[in-house]
């Protein structure tokens, strides 16, 4: 089991349905709207809610921002590649981002901007799921996430379904706002340390870059780049 903490995390886990929730521990002194909502939903789903003192929760919480609410849950379930193929797919590939806070920030932006899915390299994310969930403000539970054993192969499979592949990379690139995200597409973003692998880059159709307002030469981090590109996609796809 995994322990998650905080109202946003617990609420998202309950509503998204990506995992089983075994027990919720709630500060017995909490009587606010969010607490009542969580208790009501837990009753509907036959989830045990146990009232505890704040000192008990403080002693059992892993962090300090739990807000008097922790839960024991199963690991998250992940999606199949076919599940990111919406009517007009807007898919992201993130490679080389291992910091759970950064990954959570990325997921928060992608879900908010309407991405239809995220492909990550397969690894055991279970030890940091709680951190990702909190950093994403719950968005990581709702976003379709595929753990890929073969990123280049899965990208090639998506391209066969009609998706155009863009890489966030400056070499031979066009400005990111000049790319067409209104059609089915995927955008690959690499981490700050290693960037995108050569095998992933071979599958790309076009590189894109984010122009700066000055001569600053350091690249944006993956979370910043993902947010900029995802919301440009949202803008284009909504006719703004």
CATH of the domain at 231: 3.40.1280.10
Confidence band of 219 (pLDDT split at 50, 70, 90) = confident
Whole-number pLDDT of residue 64: 83
How many domains would you assign to the chain? 2
**Cβ neighbours around 20 below 10 Å, total:** 14
DSSP summary character for residue 221:
P
Q: Which two tokens stand for residue 158?
A: 């998506």
Q: Is residue 43 located within the same domain as residue 87?
A: no
**Residue 213 in this model has a pLDDT that exceeds 80:** yes
Q: Please tell me whether residues 55 and 106 are part of one structural domain.
A: no
- 227 lies in which domain range? 81-237
Nearest alpha carbon to residue 181 among 239, 109, 223, 222? 239
pLDDT 10s digits, 62-107:
888 898 999 999 999 999 999 999 889 999 999 999 899 999 999 9
7-16 and 33-44 are packed helices; what angle lies between their axes, rounded to 10 degrees? 30
Question: What's the whole-number average pLDDT of the chain?
Answer: 95
Q: Which of 73, 103, 124 is the last residue of a domain?
A: 73
CATH code at position 14: 3.30.1330.30
Domain boundary among 26, 51, 73: 73
Cα 31 to the chain's mean position, in Å? 30
Do 86 and 165 belong to one domain?
yes
Residue 190 bridge partners (DSSP): 95
217 against 70, higher pLDDT: 70
Contacts of 51 (CB under 8 A, 6+ apart): 25, 26, 27, 28
Q: Are 10 and 139 in contact (CB under 8 A)?
A: no
**What is the arithmetic mean of pLDDT over 111-119?**
98
Are 98 and 152 part of one and the same domain? Answer: yes
């Amino acid at each position: 089991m995994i322990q998650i903490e905080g109202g946003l995390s617990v609420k998202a886990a309950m509503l998204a349905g990506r995992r089983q929730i075994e027990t919720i521990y709630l500060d017995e002194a909490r009587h606010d709207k969010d607490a009542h909502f969580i208790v009501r939903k837990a009753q509907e789903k036959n989830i045990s809610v146990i009232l505890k003192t704040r000192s008990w929760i403080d002693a059992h919480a892993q962090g300090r921002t739990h807000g008097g609410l922790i839960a024991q849950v199963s690991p998250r379930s992940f999606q199949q590649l076919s599940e990111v193929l919406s009517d007009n797919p807007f898919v992201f590939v993130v490679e080389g981002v291992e910091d759970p806070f950064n990954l959570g920030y990325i997921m928060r932006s992608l879900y908010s901007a309407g991405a239809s899915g995220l492909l990550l390299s397969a690894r055991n994310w279970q030890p940091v799921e709680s951190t990702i969930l909190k950093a994403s403000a719950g968005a990581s539970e709702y976003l379709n996430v595929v753990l890929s054993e073969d990123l280049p192969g899965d990208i090639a499979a998506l391209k066969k379904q009609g998706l155009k592949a863009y890489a966030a990379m400056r070499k031979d690139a066009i400005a990111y706002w000049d790319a067409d995200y209104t059609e089915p597409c995927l955008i690959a973003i690499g981490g700050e340390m290693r960037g995108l692998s050569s095998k992933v880059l071979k599958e790309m159709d076009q590189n894109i870059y984010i122009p700066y307002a000055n001569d600053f030469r350091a690249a944006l981090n993956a979370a910043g780049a993902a947010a900029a590109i995802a919301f440009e996609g949202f803008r284009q796809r909504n006719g703004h």
